[in-house]
Structures are given as C-alpha cells and as structure tokens.
Amino acid sequence: MAKRSLLVGFGGFLPERVVTNEELATRLATSDEWIKTRTGITRRHLAGPDDSATSMGAEAARRALDYAGLSADDIDVVLVATSTPDQAFPATAVRIQAALGMTHGFGFDIAAACSGFIFALATANSFIRSGQVRNALVIGSEVYSRIVDWQDRGTCVLFGDGAGAVVVSASDDESGTRGILSTHLHSDGTTGDLLYVDGAVGQPDKSGHLKMSGRDVFRHAVAKLSSSVDEALQAEGLSYADVDWLVPHQANIRIIEGVGKKLGLPAERVVVTVDRHANTSAASIPLALDEAVRDGRIQKGELVLMEALGGGLTWGSVLVRL
C-alpha cells in the first residue's frame, strides 16, 4: 500500500474574455469601488461560446500532465469537481477522459460546490492509499457565468469561469515526508438553503439561477474554515507556525485575510487570486495552486494548507507537503 499521495503536476486554464468591474457597472447598479471594497475582486474571466466545463477542464489537465511529465495513458482515474457540468450525464469526467484520448481507467464527477476540489482531492488520496490507483487527475472546472442571474448585483459580480487540475501520484517511500498528510471533509444539509441553485433538470419551472444569503454564508465561512484549519493541524501534531502557505478557496478577500491572520501568516504567504479571477468555485484552489507553483513562490518540501467552504453547506481541508 502506498504511504503517500504526491502532487506532481499542476495546470490551469482561464477563458480569454476578461470582464472588469467597470464594465459590469455599465450594466448594473454597482461600481468598481463597491465590488472591490466588499470582495477584493477587480475582474473575472468569462467563458466564450466555445468554452465549456469539458474543454476548460481538459486543457487544464493537459497542462498538469505536461508538468508532471506523464501522459493520459498513465492516468487511472479522472475526478472532476464541478457544479456546472455540460450535461446531466454522462459525467464531465468521462467527457474529459475522451478528450484526452483515454480508453482505460474510470472517471466521475463530484458535486460539492466550492468545496468540490477539496472533496475530489481527498477522494483521489483514498484511492491511492488503498492501492486501487497509482495516478489520478483531479480537476475543478466551472462555468458559473451560465447559472448566475446577471440582473442580481449581489451575486453575479462575485463569480468567474475557469479550470484547474493536479496530477496526484502514489509514492512507495513509506519513510517520506512529502505528500498529502491529512484530509478532513464535512457537510451540513440543514444549511443548504443559504447557497444553492434554484432548479435542476427535473425542475423546469425553476429559475436555474444561483441564490445566496451572503451574510449568513460569510458567518458560517469564518467559523467553519477556522475550525477546519485547527482540525487539519491538530491531526498531524502541527502548529500554525509550521504552515508555509495557505491556498484558500477564493471567494472573498475578507474571509481569506481572516483565516490568514488566524494562522499568523503574513499576506505574502497567502495565495490570492480572487482579485483577478473572482470566485471560480471548485476551480479556484487548483488555479491558485498552479499559479503559485509555476511562479516559484511555493517550493518543493513546503507545507501547504488548502481549505474551502461551499453550498451544502460543505467544507473541508487538505494538508500537503509538496
């Protein structure tokens, strides 16, 4: 049985179209200052007519495979975290599997909203530690621009589109210190009405738009993410001082700064992309991770804490030494 799951490949994809706060202000009763002050967001990428959860996820996956020096033939499972699949079925994962030219292995989607990548990464870790797979592609791909209500300034300004991916591989070195150290997942269905999409395939009379009680979600996020941080570190007998990098879900700069302060991390040790990407839901953590690894900020051997909260409510954390 493999002792550790190593993150060996990183990739991201953002649609070409960039929409600034100023552009949104020409169509909505809002302003750059209003959006930036409350969220930290200045712009976001929005999918074009040829972009989809499948196409963006497949491109992020190709870049992650290239980074890892692996090919699609080496992958045993494709796990896709998405709340905006191209179809009810088949899963986006198998569409990406086909786009990569894979005719072996298996794939499926995981729906945990903004926590989806954390849930998918934990699932990949379990598959690897059980010995069932050696190499996994874990992808977050979202097209939230197609489910937000573009007349609702309280929600539409918050989201963007994109995809991020990591390659997770088994290590047979039981004495090694690198790899995923712990994962912790939670959900509370009694809070499901705080953040949800109003409708599905079986409910054609619904709006199909994202609905959110912003203040309530913010309150839960601060409390639950703080407890998730403590849980992850306590499980490994570590302290705040041991964390080299925080790579959080990119929902709101105030939440990100709050968790960073709890850890005692200076701002330069917290990876922030929300200002340029907005909230890309399940894609936000792998996009941020890809950026920080590729620009040299995060180095091999450093301790990285990832955490997220999303609709469900769902929340969780992954602690990994790269």
CATH value at residue 124: 3.40.47.10
Structure tokens at 198: 């109003």
Domain residues for the domain of 58 are 4-171
Whether residue 158 sits in one domain with residue 11: yes
Whether residue 193 sits in one domain with residue 161: no
Whether residue 256 sits in one domain with residue 111: no
Structure tokens at 20: 């600034």
Whether residue 198 sits in one domain with residue 95: no
Whether residue 194 sits in one domain with residue 293: yes
Structure tokens at 42: 């200045």
Q: Which residues are catalytic, by number?
A: 114, 249, 279
The CA–CA distances, whole Å, from 219 to 194, 215, 222, 282, 290 equal: 11, 6, 6, 20, 29
DSSP 3-state of 159: strand
Per-residue model confidence as pLDDT tens digits over 231-269: 999 999 999 999 999 999 999 999 999 999 988 999 999
Domain boundary among 116, 146, 171: 171
Domain boundary among 171, 205, 221: 171
Whether residue 154 sits in one domain with residue 266: no
Instruction: Look up the pTM and report it.
Output: 0.97
Per-residue model confidence as pLDDT tens digits over 39-58: 999 999 999 999 999 999 99
pLDDT at 111 over 60: yes
Q: Could you give the number of structural domains in the chain?
A: 2
Whether residue 166 sits in one domain with residue 184: no
Q: What is the mean pLDDT of residues 134-156?
A: 96
Whether residue 183 sits in one domain with residue 158: no
Whether residue 86 sits in one domain with residue 121: yes
Whether residue 202 sits in one domain with residue 136: no
Whether residue 237 sits in one domain with residue 153: no
Q: What does 102-152 look like in DSSP terms, one character per residue?
A: --SSEEEEE--GGGHHHHHHHHHHHHHHHTS-SEEEEEEEEEGGGTS-TT-
Q: What are the residues facing 169 on neighbouring strands?
A: 6, 135
pLDDT at 141 over 90: yes
Structure tokens at 22: 């100023």
CA angle 317, 318, 319 (to 5 degrees): 125
DSSP 3-state of 26: coil
- Whether 259 and 315 have beta carbons less than 8 Å apart is answered as no
Whether residue 147 sits in one domain with residue 35: yes
Mean pLDDT of the chain: 95
Percent of the chain whose pLDDT exceeds 90: 91
